[in-house]
Structure 1
Amino acid sequence: MHTMLTLFDFSTSLAALLASVVLLAYIYPNRCIGTVDRPDLPGPRGLPLIGNLLLVFQNRNGMLKFLDNMEATYGPLFTFTLPSLGRNIVINRPEWLEHMRKGDTTIYAKGKVVRDVFSQFAGSTTPISTDGSAWKDARRLVQPIFAAKAVNTHASKAMCEIVPTVKTLLRAACHQNVVVDWKDLSGRLALGIFCKMAFDVSTDMLTTELSCLKLTNVLSDTLTTLGVITADRLFNPAWRITERFDGTRSRFDAAKARLSAIVDDLIRDRSHPGGFDAEESTDYLTALLASTAEQDLSSTRDTLMTLFFAGRDSTQNVILWALYELTRSPGWIALMREEVVSRPPKGAEGIITFGELQAPRVQNYPIHLAVFFETLRLWPGLPKNARLATEDDVLPAIPEKGLPAVRVNKGDFLLWSDMAMMRNEDVWGPDAKEFNPRRHLGEDGRFVKPDTPRFHSFGSGPRACPAMQLMTYEFTAIFAGLLCDFDFIPVHPGVRKSIDALAPFMDGPFMVEVHDRVVQ
């Protein structure tokens, strides 16, 4: 009798469960559970209860291509739903992005799901993983390294040390007929400059000996691993589960441990038993440790991890893709060389100083600036992003484009792809997909800074990237220092694609022949 009652109870519970599932499937026939039906928005039809989970999961390692394909089908406005993320509305128009950015940090935030992902890397107290007052505190902590005074003092010093080293290295490659992986070299350049300017630390990633290029760049490889896995997690609601079956979790943990060890070594080497003397060293790390000496160092570790990521990814990305684009448009290389010859750098070792680039009312290097911004237009440092609506809102109609006002409900995610938007012919003209720095030059040859958010590589609004002037200087000093001395010829010319990470790094190495340039 007891067994029969148990079986009856089990059958009753199972029937109730199935009835609940059927009822929920009826309520949510084409979207994930908990989302509001939006027949006013185009997009791929989802499955009952789980929405577009299977479609997005299949494309989680290639979300840029997925978003491009969806835009080709549905236009700049479309939607899909996912468990945990709910309703995602893609808004690939600068007008809508401008509206959203005005409410960034107030009615729009990163949201818990995104914060949880970025709390794993770079950390829970960093600008990329916080909202509200916590974000303001984290932003204030990193701001000094990007200030004009710091760039002028420390970045200029780093350039005068590292660019000549790279010249000697490239000359050796030329004379010994050794091809160079520009992707690897640009990563070493970015990290070497950053470590010198931020921490006053010289690394062995770049020396005058070609043998340095045969050594594994552990720090760069570690950052790449963390960036790729983090990007994959953003569109995988079950990443905590799936990563345990394919080894991703163990790879992430190992990479995180390596980066933590590097950061801890930096902190330990810079620590002084007697406290910090502000007059002894003025580099960013010393000042940071001095300001947090009496506090828990966890936020300092998070900050340094963030800076390693930001200092490497953005700079490497633009140096890498710029040479790729320039070798396909050699006329611009000639113009950049002419510009340097007509305006010889005044810094030590023949390196451009930050002051030369920022001289008021004087544009010393407009061609370099145009090439820099055009590279970032095609290859933005953060090619896709998202914000969570914390209250109801309405995006304005764009009648000249035939686009209606868009209702945004509290809890909706707004997504956009800077890469798609800045390659859109309807936004940038018929040559939007072409590398054409001339679009950033006026009739008088002066550089014209592109307007935001149409140009969105540095973001806009409260969360705009503070590193623009640092990156601009690094780019100009590097190419002005190298292009006049060397020719670079790709070993395998042709169209290259990017990998889908936090930054759009080139897929595979970019091998180049290096030749001494003979000036007639």
Structure 2
Amino acid sequence: MDIVGYAAAATMIMAALICVLYLFRGRRCSRNPLFTEYPIFGMLTHVLFNLWRAHDYSTLVLKRHGGTGEFIGPWFTNMNYLVTIDPSNLHHMLSKRFHNYVKGPQFREILQAFGDGIFTADSEPWKYNRDLFHSLFKRKSFEVFLEKTIHSKVRSSLIPVLDSLHQQGSVVDLQDVFNRFTFDNICSIVLGNDPNCLSVDFPDVAIEKAFNQAEECIFFRHVVPKCVWKLQKLLQIGQEKKMTQACKTLDQFIHACIASKREDLSKYKENEKAEADDHVDLLTSLMREETHEDKFLRDAVFNLFVAGRDTITSALTWFFWLVATNPLVEAKILEEMKDKFGNMNEKSSLGVLNVEEVKKLVYLHGAICESLRLFPPVPFETKQALEADVLPSGHVVNSGTNILFLLYAMGRIEEIWGEDCFEFKPERWISQKGGIVFVPSYKFIAFNAGPRTCLGKDLAFIQMKMVAAFILNNYHVQVVKGFVAAPSLSIVLLMKDGLKVKITKREK
């Protein structure tokens, strides 16, 4: 037999082997498949071709499959997921059978930059982190410190920047403004140090850019086979090169802050209450609680930064886009503030409400909830099953099964929110008696559910309402004509091209 004959025979054998493997995989794995599975590439081609509209596309696909289905990744990549947006399944996994569904080693490897912090930890390390942060967040001194920090940042930075933009009449990326504002805030709250990213000259800050880059690279790890990003990491090319550079910048910054804080604390006597009250940032509090190694502190700081910076930026950006494009909602928010407080500008804090005052703004709270329903800052979550189980939807879960649930899609389910689920309608959150309507956390999933419910939920609402009330009371935000808002591809749901607006002072 000549070379051509050998090649033809080899090709036929290979094709037959692929067909056998394909049929075998189909019998084992394709229970309610979300897409057509192709040999070798699995279902990944569908995702890659629709990556530009990933969130909306996944919503449509899951609705066609009753809310739950299987995604089969490329062969031999362990990218297989049971994907669900069924609230009963989430309630089962996040609450009823919480201990059976963990983050898992695969998740920790993808989110390597988070270290062993609260977002990636399981079991006892997670419980220790949660109990520690819970004790810090619930202190009255911390709430006072948070309020003081926000008031100070609004007066020193936000007002000058917004006034300058009004005077210039120029277009600005409001998401960038919020990004800088929340970055300065989280630096002050966690580290006790304000880097002044938000100023009229909009300076470049390497550490702020490094956080954005790291999050985009982490999303990349979610959508390509592990072997691809592992090879890129080994060769230091593509996204993994950017990841390495971003993490190096972040670690240098965080470790420098830890060293500086240790030096500062060595100058104070722990039993002097006045000094303790002056240093209630979270890093100081962590160091005073007990002796922690630098790695623990580094991971804690990184996780707190992601939790308190990008999520608030995302929430405020989508909220202002929705309000700016729904003038009736804006009018109702302004009317509520006027009814509750009259002329807010007569306040000594330049119209910035305090913690107790923002709790009275029911309609504003409903508008923020509605924004979070449609655009949750964290658009997807993953879990891994420790033991075999059966979900309420009837789907069988084997030990080691990876589960993906899509928060973005859940806000667009008619069975939960009604036929008007795509509308921005704050009224759905307000009862006939004028209070906030309670929605179970496994349906309104923006702050997670069960034992892992976000510890900073109340603090997040306080920050968002303080900032939103101040800006809406003093300025009018107008979206630039022709601007199209689109979600970014990242682990945090930011706007792809920012939020382009013009800022004008509101006439009183």
Q: Give the shorter-chain TM-score range.
A: 0.7 to 0.9
Aligned to 1:410: 399
Match 1:236 to one of 214, 224, 238: 224
Pairs within 5 Å for 1:411-490:
411-490=400-479
Aligned to 1:147: 138
* CA shift for structure 1 position 25: 5.8
Alignment partner of 1:369 is 2:365 = yes
Helix, strand or coil at the partner of 1:317: helix
Task: Pick closer, same or farther for the CA change 1:277–1:84 going to 2, 3 Å.
Answer: farther
Match 1:252 to one of 239, 243, 268: 243
Aligned to 1:223: 211
Q: What is the number of equivalent residue pairs in this alignment?
A: 484
Q: How many angstroms apart in 1 are the aligned matches of 2:189 and 2:97? A: 31
- Check conservation: 2:382, 2:404, Cα contact below 8 A: yes
- Check conservation: 2:325, 2:479, Cα contact below 8 A: no
- Check conservation: 1:160, 1:348, Cα contact below 8 A: yes
* CA shift for structure 1 position 439: 0.5
Task: Pick closer, same or farther for the CA change 1:43–1:282 going to 2, 3 Å.
Answer: closer
Specify the code of the residue in structure 1 equivalent to 2:318.
W
Aligned to 1:156: 147
Match 1:502 to one of 462, 479, 491: 491
Helix, strand or coil at the partner of 1:90: strand
Specify the code of the residue in structure 2 equivalent to 1:78.
G
Alignment partner of 1:167 is 2:159 = yes
Helix, strand or coil at the partner of 2:204: coil
Which runs of 5 or more structure 2 residues have no equivalent in the other structure? 1-5
Match 1:393 to one of 375, 389, 397: 389
* CA shift for structure 1 position 489: 1.1
Q: How many angstroms apart in 2 are the aligned matches of 1:289 and 1:489? A: 45
Percent pairwise identity? 23
Q: How many angstroms apart in 2 are the aligned matches of 1:333 and 1:517? A: 12
Helix, strand or coil at the partner of 1:112: helix
* CA shift for structure 1 position 416: 1.3
Task: Pick closer, same or farther for the CA change 1:71–1:60 going to 2, 3 Å.
Answer: same
Which runs of 5 or more structure 1 residues have no equivalent in the other structure? 1-10, 359-363, 398-404
Aligned to 1:26: 20
Q: How many angstroms apart in 2 are the aligned matches of 1:475 and 1:366? A: 13
* CA shift for structure 1 position 90: 1.4
Aligned to 2:380: 384
Aligned to 1:335: 332
Q: How many angstroms apart in 2 are the aligned matches of 1:50 and 1:491? A: 42
For residues 468-517 of structure 1, the C-alpha deviation after alignment (integer angstroms, 9 at most, x for no partner) is: 11110011111111211111111235441101211110011322111111
Task: Pick closer, same or farther for the CA change 1:254–1:87 going to 2, 3 Å.
Answer: closer
Task: Pick closer, same or farther for the CA change 1:231–1:440 going to 2, 3 Å.
Answer: same
Specify the code of the residue in structure 2 equivalent to 1:271.
R
Q: How many angstroms apart in 2 are the aligned matches of 1:150 and 1:316? A: 25
Pairs within 5 Å for 1:4-83:
26=20, 28-29=22-23, 31=25, 37-48=28-39, 51-56=42-47, 63-82=54-73, 83=76
- My pick for the range that moved more, 376-385 or 159-168, is 159-168
**Cα-Cα RMSD:** 2.8
Match 1:97 to one of 87, 90, 108: 90
Alignment partner of 1:187 is 2:179 = yes
Aligned to 1:282: 280
Task: Pick closer, same or farther for the CA change 1:53–1:176 going to 2, 3 Å.
Answer: closer
- Check conservation: 1:377, 1:457, Cα contact below 8 A: yes
- Check conservation: 1:105, 1:132, Cα contact below 8 A: no
Q: How many angstroms apart in 1 are the aligned matches of 2:183 and 2:141? A: 17
Q: Report the TM-score when normalising by structure 1.
A: 0.85
Specify the code of the residue in structure 2 equivalent to 1:188.
R
Pairs within 5 Å for 1:323-362:
323-344=320-341, 348-358=349-359
Helix, strand or coil at the partner of 2:114: coil
Higher helix share: 2
Specify the code of the residue in structure 1 equivalent to 2:375.
W
Aligned to 2:3: none
Q: How many angstroms apart in 2 are the aligned matches of 1:415 and 1:130? A: 17
For residues 393-416 of structure 1, the C-alpha deviation after alignment (integer angstroms, 9 at most, x for no partner) is: 11124xxxxxxx222111212211
Q: How many angstroms apart in 2 are the aligned matches of 1:465 and 1:157? A: 23
Q: Report the TM-score when normalising by structure 2.
A: 0.87
Q: How many angstroms apart in 1 are the aligned matches of 2:410 and 2:324? A: 25
* CA shift for structure 1 position 88: 1.3
Q: How many angstroms apart in 2 are the aligned matches of 1:370 and 1:242? A: 45
- Check conservation: 2:31, 2:70, Cα contact below 8 A: no
